[in-house]
Amino acid sequence: MAEEPISARLHKRIHRDFPDPDAAKGIEGALRVLATELERSHEDPERLLTAALVIADGDVNRFRSAIRLARTDWRDLLVAGGLGHADWPQVLEEELKPR
C-alpha cells in the first residue's frame, strides 16, 4: 500500500469515537492492517474504514465485529456501515464532517 490509508478526517473521527489514546492507537493500527487486507477490493480505503467505524459506534467490541465482517465480505461491511449504496460519497462526507 503506497499511501497512508487513514486520512486526516478519518483520524479525527477515530479520536472522536475512541477518546482514550491507547484505544485510538489500536484502532488505527487495526484499520491500517484491514486496508492492506482489502486492497484487492479496489474500493476507496476511506470508505471501507469509515464503514467499520460507523458500525463500531465507539465500542471496541463492535469494532472487532466490524473487522471480522470485513474479512468475511467487504461488501457486507459497506452495507452494514451505510456506505453500500450509490449515495455513499454523501454519506461518507456526513460521517467524517467535523462535529
Rounded to an integer, what distance in angstroms lies between the CA atom of residue 82 and that of residue 50?
Answer: 10
Quote the strand ranges of the chain, DSSP E.
Answer: none
63 domain residue, yes or no: yes
Share of the chain above pLDDT 70, in %: 98
2 domain residue, yes or no: no
1 domain residue, yes or no: no
Contacts of 47 (CB under 8 A, 6+ apart): 78, 83, 88, 92
Looking at the structure of the chain, the number of domains it has is: 1
Among 3-7, 30-34, 59-63, the range scoring the smallest mean pLDDT is: 3-7
pLDDT grade for 1, boundaries at 50, 70 and 90: very low
Rounded to an integer, what distance in angstroms lies between the CA atom of residue 42 and that of residue 63?
Answer: 22
Q: What are 56-98's pLDDT values in tens digits?
A: 999 999 999 999 999 999 999 999 999 999 999 999 999 999 8
Of the candidates 45, 37, 65, 49, the residue with the CA atom closest to the CA atom of residue 13: 49
